[in-house]
Amino acid sequence: MTAAVLQSSECNEAGDLDWVQRALIDGYQRGFPLTEHPYATIAEALGVSESAVLEALADLRERGVLGRIGAVVRPHRAGWSTLAALEVPEARLEEVAALVSAYPEVNHNYEREHELNLWFVVAAAERGRVEAVLDDIELRSGLEVLELPLEEAFCLDLGFAIRWARS
Amino acid sequence: MRDLDRRLLAFLQDGLPLVAAPYATLGQRLGVSEAEVRARLDHLQSAGVISRFGLVVRHHELGYRANAMVVWDVPDAEVRAAGRRLAALDFVTLCYQRPRRLPRWPYNLFCMIHGQDRDEVLAQVVEAAVLAGLEQVRREVLFSTRRFKQRGACYAAPTETAKQAEVA
């Protein structure tokens, strides 16, 4: 398990991205075309070739800027999920983080600056499976899981407006 | 939700393939036509199951190196209004109400703020407190220091995920 150290400077700066890549990020975080040839549809809108769009996306993915082209599911509509936290002794952090990350149901797992220092999200088709994973993590880590399920969402994930001018 | 929709969302966890006709590729894997795949995705969006369909970018790799989860202890009667005010700020990406876990955890309102560096995020936290009327409310700022895992949520069939967990 390799953890990304967030202060590292090895990642590509947004300043390296060309205009097609910026246009893709600005224009297609939602409403991705549902046409038979979606990349050709985008290419036409941007006035470039389909292969230029595919290459730009492949490059974004290689740089790690693009996680995926995919669906962000509204919480608790297609299954169950919860945020959870653990207070992990510093010496055990790598071990427990690896244990938690290994579950396919865990999609985010971050170290944060707090006594409760490991924060992760567990999602599954059924609530029972989420509970089972949390129980299993408690059992295997010997640590108490703080479970913090969503009660109300005040904003949906509609993408992120990048402030290019600063980069 | 139909079984087909669930399997479609599970396949999309790996992302839409970067090929000329990606919906046809998904359809082949799912055993349905490409038109059916597009119709289901359209339906899931209009039904509100999918809140957005498109590029999922990683803030950190775009130069947003600092990310903080900001948590607030808001009186219950005010939490909904405060949540809506926070959610309206353009630098707040997610805003959720969650249960307190007393005495351990007194905070009931959570939001995420991404910025270029810590100072920018901290300034935005102060701005958020002022604009959302939360200056007098106890809060904590939890910066992330390491990312161990970041991917899409997996809503595959429970039997399938249980098997994967055993392997893992």
Distances, alpha carbon A149 to alpha carbons A32, A36, A81, B162, in Å: 29, 38, 7, 21
CA distance B82 to B74: 8
Q: Do B23 and A34 touch (CB under 8 A)?
A: yes
Number of neighbouring beta carbons within 10 Å of residue B48: 10
CA distance A148 to A83: 5
Per the listing, tokens 């006035």 go with A47
Say whether pLDDT at B7 is over 80.
yes
Q: Do A66 and B58 touch (CB under 8 A)?
A: yes
Residue of B nearest to A87 (CA): B104
CA distance A139 to A149: 20
CA distance A55 to A49: 10
Note the pLDDT of residue B153. 66
Q: Does A6 touch chain B (CB under 8 A)?
A: yes
Percent of chain A with pLDDT over 70: 87
**Beta carbons of B98 and B111 less than 8 angstroms apart:** no
Residues 6+ apart with CB under 8 A from A54: A39, B18, B20
Q: Residues of B with CB below 8 A from A104's CB?
A: 154, 156, 161, 164-165, 168
How big is chain B, counted in residues?
A: 168
As a whole number, mean pLDDT of residues A50-68 equals 96
Q: Does B120 touch chain A (CB under 8 A)?
A: no
**Beta carbons of A67 and A114 less than 8 angstroms apart:** no
C-alpha Rg value of chain A to the nearest Å: 19
Q: Residues of B with CB below 8 A from A140's CB?
A: none
Percent of chain B with pLDDT over 90: 71
pLDDT in tens, A81-128: 999 999 999 999 999 999 999 999 998 999 999 999 999 999 998 899
Please state the ipTM of this predicted complex.
0.78
Q: Residues of A with CB below 8 A from B110's CB?
A: 83, 148
Q: Does B89 touch chain A (CB under 8 A)?
A: no
CA distance A91 to A99: 14
The β-bridge partners of B141 are B70
Q: Do A34 and B42 touch (CB under 8 A)?
A: yes
What's the whole-model pTM score? 0.78
Say whether pLDDT at B163 is over 70.
no
Note the pLDDT of residue A74. 85
CA distance B61 to A6: 10
Residue of A nearest to B39 (CA): A34
**Beta carbons of B63 and B50 less than 8 angstroms apart:** no
Q: Does B22 touch chain A (CB under 8 A)?
A: yes
Nearest to B63 by CA among B117, B104, B130: B117
pLDDT in tens, A4-28: 444 333 344 566 899 999 999 999 9
pLDDT in tens, B121-158: 999 999 999 999 999 999 999 999 999 988 766 565 43
Per the listing, tokens 């224009």 go with A27
CA distance B149 to B97: 23
Q: Does A67 touch chain B (CB under 8 A)?
A: yes
Residue B121, classed as helix, strand or coil, is helix
